[in-house]
């Protein structure tokens, strides 16, 4: 039986983040670079390239809507100063490769589709429906001049000071016909003029559509707009003689989209959508219930699991400063995340933001690289068994966080003496008799209590109270080796036979006494900030 399909989502800059990796000409960026990028994916077993060619403007040579290169001349610093001098993307060293291709008459989107077909990949186009980048500055090149009127924008309300994007409340207002007409022009061009094989509407960049509180009339207005896109896809399928599926990238809490006008369940029931790709916004989803999605949305929809960029919002220590860990640079975590989705019935996997580790110019101090070889056989569940894996439970709100669309996190959590916390995590069963063991790491705020009263039970086994204190990450590297000083950890070891296929239940107990003996101080509450699990070789655990 063939492994489930592996989709690689490449955003508007994905082939340009690190040009030195792909260029075939030392002087200019050429079509050969696009083919080299696609060849690398094909060599790793990717089945479908999902190309995003837009923000609010086109990053491809559009004739229907404004493009990012409009008005730009090579090495023109005044162009950037006049519009948004602080934006990373609008610098000559990032835009010039696009200009190289445009001046040579190369449409990079068309070239990516051609390269995909040459290597036997299908190619889908992914349209970002409300890209968040620099939306607050009307003069920024990310914003189409015709849509800068404040009446066409959502008002914006920052509810989370840690989040730079105002989810659901800032961006283009699809309640306005001008916005819907603009985006439909772009979609009509992409579906009609390019030889792609499918279309994805990306409502995770960002989940903003109509103002929150959409009534039935607004929902029906948007549903009719989606039906018009479905008709474009069906017409394209007739012309090409091959299917042209339509789907969406949606948040894990997809039902919340109906409050901003997008009735996912209704569109699925009508047959408007062929697939969805469900995910959190930036922290990869570890406990998204794909089995529940199947029960809710029925058997006729393809449901893809999605790996995201951030392993966990829990910080580790790097060069005396906290920073996040990337899934694309950590194969054990990539394997664990995919395995947990496949065992719940995901029809395939879409890797998202995988190429971000290529961006050495921006993250040079981090010295990370996207591990493309880890993509090979990534969706072959039986081949994942017996390999090291790094699981985690999602933790609440840092950096790019999208409440209420991300599924609610269980961590952090405060455990008073005798309190218990139950967590659920999908995992794949492991073969018996090997050198693997399971380590459950409970990460807590530093300070008393010291963890000796903590216990962990896995799948109703008798609680393990033999935790070993540590400041080491489960998979330490030269870059990410220890927890930050504000955290401490305790490791609890189990046989891998304790893992069950599918949902696993982890119970953490603060076993400190509520009524200590006379002369002893009552133990304070324990703040659990993270829980991670390693399926790892015993030899690694002893290091």
Of 339, 201, 320, 311, nearest to 261 (Cα)?
Answer: 201
pLDDT digits (tens, 9 = 90+) for 184-228: 999 999 999 999 999 999 999 889 999 999 999 999 999 999 999
Separation between Cα atoms, residue 295 and residue 539, nearest integer Å: 41
> Is-above-0.85 flag for pTM?
yes
Separation between Cα atoms, residue 262 and residue 256, nearest integer Å: 9
83 against 331, higher pLDDT:
331
Tell whether the model's pLDDT for residue 159 goes beyond 70.
no
Tell whether the model's pLDDT for residue 452 goes beyond 90.
no
In a domain, 438, yes or no: yes
Tell whether the model's pLDDT for residue 404 goes beyond 60.
yes
CATH number for position 493: 2.60.120
Q: How many CB atoms lie within 10 A of CB 466?
A: 12
pLDDT of residue 236: 98
User: Coil, strand or helix: which one is 108?
Assistant: helix
In terms of C-beta density within 10 A (0-12 exposed, 13-18 middle, 19 or more buried), how is residue 482 classed?
middle
Q: With beta carbons less than 8 A apart as the criterion, state whether 330 and 356 touch.
A: no
Tell whether the model's pLDDT for residue 442 goes beyond 50.
yes
In a domain, 455, yes or no: yes
- Please give the structure tokens belonging to residue 173: 């207002």
Q: How many CB atoms lie within 10 A of CB 86?
A: 9
The residues, any chain, with a CB within 8 Å of residue 409's CB and separated by 6 or more, are 393, 394, 395, 396, 397
Tell whether the model's pLDDT for residue 513 goes beyond 60.
yes
pLDDT of residue 353: 94
pLDDT of residue 89: 60
Of 414, 410, 378, 379, nearest to 397 (Cα)?
Answer: 410
Under the banding of pLDDT at 50, 70 and 90, the label for residue 77 is low
By DSSP bridging, strand 502-510 and strand 454-458 are antiparallel
In a domain, 134, yes or no: no
Domain count, the chain: 1
Q: With beta carbons less than 8 A apart as the criterion, state whether 8 and 46 touch.
A: yes
- Please give the structure tokens belonging to residue 458: 């896995």
In a domain, 80, yes or no: no
Q: With beta carbons less than 8 A apart as the criterion, state whether 48 and 5 touch.
A: yes
pLDDT digits (tens, 9 = 90+) for 14-61: 998 888 889 999 999 999 999 999 999 999 999 999 999 999 999 999
Distance of CA 444 to the CA centre of its chain: 26
Distances (CA, A) of 52 to 43, 123, 196, 218, 369: 21, 11, 12, 27, 21
In a domain, 454, yes or no: yes
DSSP state of 170: E
Three-state SS for 378-429 is CCCHHHHCCCCEEEECCECCCCCCCCCCCCCCCECEEECCCCEEEEEEEECC
Tell whether the model's pLDDT for residue 140 goes beyond 90.
no
Separation between Cα atoms, residue 528 and residue 44, nearest integer Å: 38
Q: What is the dihedral of CA 319, 325, 331, 337, to 10 degrees?
A: 160
| Average pLDDT along the chain | 90
What is the secondary structure of 188-233 as a DSSP string? HHHHHHS--SEEEEETTS----SPSS--HHHHHHHHHHHHHHHHHH
In a domain, 426, yes or no: yes
In a domain, 288, yes or no: no
Q: How many CB atoms lie within 10 A of CB 160?
A: 15
Q: How many residues does the chain have?
A: 543
Separation between Cα atoms, residue 303 and residue 433, nearest integer Å: 34
Q: State which residues form the domain around 523.
A: 413-542
pLDDT of residue 543: 46
In a domain, 42, yes or no: no
Q: With beta carbons less than 8 A apart as the criterion, state whether 129 and 209 touch.
A: yes
Q: With beta carbons less than 8 A apart as the criterion, state whether 389 and 344 touch.
A: no
Separation between Cα atoms, residue 274 and residue 235, nearest integer Å: 15
Under the banding of pLDDT at 50, 70 and 90, the label for residue 297 is very high
Rounded to 5°, angle at Cα 47 from 245 and 57 = 60
Separation between Cα atoms, residue 302 and residue 122, nearest integer Å: 16
Residue with tokens 């063939």: 2
Q: With beta carbons less than 8 A apart as the criterion, state whether 482 and 316 touch.
A: yes
Q: Is 140 left (phi over 0), alpha (psi -120 to 50) or beta?
A: beta
Q: What is the dihedral of CA 440, 443, 446, 448, to 10 degrees?
A: -50
User: Coil, strand or helix: which one is 8?
Assistant: strand
pLDDT of residue 360: 53
47 against 91, higher pLDDT:
47
Tell whether the model's pLDDT for residue 510 goes beyond 50.
yes
pLDDT digits (tens, 9 = 90+) for 219-229: 999 999 999 99
């Amino acid at each position: 039986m063939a492994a489930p399909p592996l989709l690689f989502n490449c955003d508007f800059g994905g082939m340009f983040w690190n040009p030195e990796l792909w260029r075939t000409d030392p002087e200019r960026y050429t079509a050969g670079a696009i083919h080299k990028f696609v060849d690398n994916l094909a060599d790793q077993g990717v089945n479908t390239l999902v190309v995003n060619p837009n923000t609010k403007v086109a990053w491809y040579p559009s004739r229907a809507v404004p493009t990012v290169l409009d008005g730009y001349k090579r090495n023109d610093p005044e162009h950037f100063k006049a519009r948004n001098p602080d934006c990373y993307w609008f610098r000559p060293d990032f835009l010039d490769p696009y200009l190289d291709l445009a001046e040579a008459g190369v449409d990079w989107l068309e070239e990516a589709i051609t390269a995909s077909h040459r290597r036997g990949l299908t190619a889908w186009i992914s349209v970002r429906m409300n890209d968040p980048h620099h939306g607050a500055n009307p003069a920024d090149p990310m914003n189409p001049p015709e849509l800068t009127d404040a009446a066409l924008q959502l008002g914006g309300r920052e509810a989370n000071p840690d989040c730079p994007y105002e989810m659901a409340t800032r961006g283009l207002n699809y309640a306005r016909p001008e916005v819907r007409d603009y985006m439909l022009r772009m979609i009509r061009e992409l579906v009609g003029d390019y030889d792609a094989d499918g279309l994805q509407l990306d409502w995770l960049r960002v989940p903003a559509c109509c103002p929150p509180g959409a009534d039935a009339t607004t929902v029906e207005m948007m549903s009719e707009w989606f039906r018009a896109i479905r008709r474009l896809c069906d017409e394209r399928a007739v012309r090409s003689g091959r299917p042209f599926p339509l789907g969406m990238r949606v948040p894990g809490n997809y039902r919340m989209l109906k409050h901003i006008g997008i009735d996912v369940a209704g569109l699925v029931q009508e047959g408007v959508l062929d697939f969805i790709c469900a995910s959190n916004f930036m922290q990869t989803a570890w406990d998204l219930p794909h089995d529940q999605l199947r029960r809710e949305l029925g058997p006729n929809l393809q449901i893809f699991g999605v790996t995201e960029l951030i392993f966990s919002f829990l910080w580790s220590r790097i060069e005396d400063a906290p920073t996040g860990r990337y899934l694309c640079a950590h194969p054990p975590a990539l394997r664990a995340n995919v395995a947990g989705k496949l065992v719940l019935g995901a029809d395939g996997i879409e890797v998202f933001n995988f190429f971000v580790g290529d961006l050495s110019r921006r993250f040079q101090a981090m010295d990370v690289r996207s591990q493309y070889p880890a993509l090979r056989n990534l969706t072959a569940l039986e081949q994942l068994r017996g390999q090291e894996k790094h699981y985690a439970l999602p933790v609440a709100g840092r950096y790019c966080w999208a409440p209420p669309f991300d599924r609610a996190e269980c961590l952090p959590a405060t455990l008073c003496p005798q309190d218990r916390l139950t967590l659920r995590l999908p995992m794949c069963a492991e073969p018996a008799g090997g050198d693997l063991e399971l380590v459950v790491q409970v990460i807590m705020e530093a300070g008393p209590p010291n963890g000796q009263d903590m216990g962990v039970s896995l799948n109703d086994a008798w609680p393990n109270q033999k935790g070993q204190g540590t400041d080491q990450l489960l998979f330490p590297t030269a870059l990410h080796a220890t927890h930050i000083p504000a955290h401490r950890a305790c490791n609890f070891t189990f046989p891998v036979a304790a893992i069950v296929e599918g949902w696993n239940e982890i119970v953490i107990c603060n076993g400190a006494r509520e009524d200590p003996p006379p002369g002893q101080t009552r133990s304070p509450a324990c703040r659990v900030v993270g829980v991670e699990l390693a399926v790892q070789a015993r030899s690694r655990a002893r290091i």
